[in-house]
A = this chain, B = another copy of it.
Amino acid sequence: MDTVRLGVIGLGNMGTGHCRGLQAGKIPRAEVTAICDINAKAMEPYEGVKKYADSAELIRSGEVDAVLIATPHYDHTTIGIDALEQGLHVLTEKPISVHKADCERLIAAHKNKDQVFGVMFQMRTDPSFKKLKEVIDRGELGTIQRTNWIITTWFRSEAYYASGGWRATWRGEGGGVLLNQSPHTLDLFQWICGMPSKVYAKCDLGRHHDIEVEDDVHALFEYPNGARGVFVTGTGEAPGTNRLEIVGDRGQIVLEHGKIHFARTETPVPEYSKTTRNSFGTPGTWSIDIPVPPGPGGGSHEEVTKRFVDAILDGTPLVAGAEEGIHSVELANAMLYSAFTGETVDIPLDGAVYEAKLMELIAASRFEKKVIEAEVDFEASRM
């Protein structure tokens, strides 16, 4: 096989972007041969491709080697399982599923490891996050003692929420900011700092918008080594903050505005603490600006898709295997579950218990969504 024949399923904001990129030839050795959307109008602009209203037909058409799934979240699971079972390679948008039990079902369907199964975590290709992970993994900061990520740069208007009936509902998205805007952040957080072992959160439902799901989250994490973390996110403020701070035995690293600053102690802090005779002394500290290599801020969808195609044709590594997508979902679920119960939640989370809670929320939902036609600034939407 020289070329991967791709089917794009779901032509909303994301799928449209992926499709345009592919058709513009941005991904070598890949061509869009088929597209699918329940809305025929969304498929009108495309020529020279087979068009399907039903993903099952596209998957069984013989027209594609692989599918890129960009539907609303719940369908990532069902369509993903179908495509994997039909022997196709799969690249899915984030989140891989809405809740942990669905993640496990989807991952379980990936039996044949010759099939490539990736997730669109393009933020992992952002040079500042790549660099930060490299520095942490190399042990420059020593053992991590504290983390803090405030990411409130997700302002969304009422018009955004009104632009789709599935948006910001338990039935349609299975959550709010944690399931829609935060999967990248939660993935990067665990990719760089590891998974916490305990989560406590306050999640406010519809605090800033007329929606039934959370649009404001304040969470406390506890890591296996006793380190603690803070995670704050929401879609209700502007311009918002995006600041990641990681503290370790050798000082602290802050990533903000695309810049990485390392305040590095000359001596490991615990060692200094135990050996100095000075009651009010502090270890000497170097102020270091860590250069961020050039590259696309926010990462590159094209790189993820390109490496998916390379993985199929050459067996090279993905940006992120879909299996890794379970972590961000588990974190999101754990925060919501903590908020509902008022308790600290252990990781691993019981996926069945959370699924039951979510089904209960869906069954109890009486929320009537006002849907209106909204303007979309396309470039701003490609997260």
A residues at B contact (CB < 8 Å): 145-146, 148, 150, 152, 155-160, 163, 200, 202, 204, 207-209, 216, 218, 220, 222, 226, 228, 230, 232, 234, 236-241, 245, 247, 251-252, 254, 263, 265, 269-270, 272-274, 276-283, 285, 342, 344, 374-377, 380-381
Contact of A376 among B222, B232, B279 (CB under 8 A): B279
- Whether B375 lies near A269 (C-beta < 8 A) is no
Name which residue of chain B comes closest to A235, CB basis.
B273
Name the distance in Å between A34's Cβ and chain B's nearest Cβ.
28
Q: Are B273 and A146 in contact (CB under 8 A)?
A: no
A146-B237, A238-B282 given; 9 more Cβ-contact pairs under 8 Å: A156-B273, A156-B280, A159-B277, A216-B228, A230-B230, A236-B269, A238-B283, A239-B285, A278-B375
For A277, give its contact among B207, B344, B374 (CB under 8 Å).
Answer: B374
Interface contact A380-B280, CB-CB below 8 Å: yes
Q: Output the least CB separation between A242 and chain B (Å).
A: 12
A209 to B276, CA, bound (A): 13
Q: Which listed residue (B280, B282, B344, B377) contacts A279, Cβ 8 A?
A: B377
A273 touches which of B150, B152, B209, B263 (Cβ 8 Å): B209
Contact across chains for A202 and B216 when beta carbons are under 8 A apart: no
Given A200-B200, A228-B216, A381-B280, A237 contacting B269 (CB threshold 8 A) = yes
Task: Give chain B nearest CB distance to A380 CB in angstroms.
Answer: 4
Interface pair B285/A263, CB less than 8 Å apart: no
What's the nearest-Cβ distance from chain B to residue A234, in Å? 8
Q: In the complex this chain forms, how many copies of it are found?
A: 2
* B residues in contact with A202, CB < 8 Å: 200, 220, 222, 228
* Chain B proximity of A347: nearest CB distance (Å): 16
A208 CB contacts on chain B under 8 angstroms: 270, 273
A278 / chain B contacts, CB cutoff of 8 Å: 157, 159, 374-377
Given A157-B278, A202-B228, verify A247-B152 contact (CB < 8 Å).
Answer: yes
Residues in B neighbouring A218, C-beta threshold 8 A: 220, 228, 230
Cβ A145 vs Cβ B236 within 8 A: yes
> Which residues in B have their C-beta under 8 angstroms from that of A277?
159, 374-375
Of B158, B241, B269, which contacts A252 at CB under 8 A? B241
Among A276, A282, A376, chain B packs the most CB atoms within 10 A around the CB of: A282
Pairwise interchain contact B265-A238, C-beta atoms closer than 8 A: yes
A204–B225 Cα distance when bound, in Å, is 13
Task: Find chain B residues with CB under 8 A from A234 CB.
Answer: 146
Q: How far is the CA of A228 from the CA of B251 in the complex (A)?
A: 28
Q: How far is the CB of A274 from chain B (nearest CB, A)?
A: 5
B residues less than 8 Å from A241 (CB atoms): 245, 247, 252, 254
Bound-state CA distance A287–B279 (Å) is 41
Rounded to whole angstroms, the CA-CA distance of A155 and B265 in the bound complex is 12
A159–B273 CA distance with the chains assembled, in angstroms: 8
A-B contact pairs, 21 of them (CB 8 A): A146-B234, A150-B245, A155-B269, A155-B283, A156-B273, A157-B274, A158-B274, A160-B280, A200-B200, A202-B222, A208-B273, A218-B230, A237-B252, A238-B282, A238-B283, A239-B251, A239-B283, A278-B374, A278-B376, A280-B376, A280-B381
Are B232 and A148 in contact (CB-based, < 8 A)? yes
The 8 Å CB contact of A282, one of B155, B273, B274, is B155
Q: How far is the CA of A342 from the CA of B200 in the complex (A)?
A: 10
Evaluate contact between A276 and B239: CB separation under 8 angstroms.
no
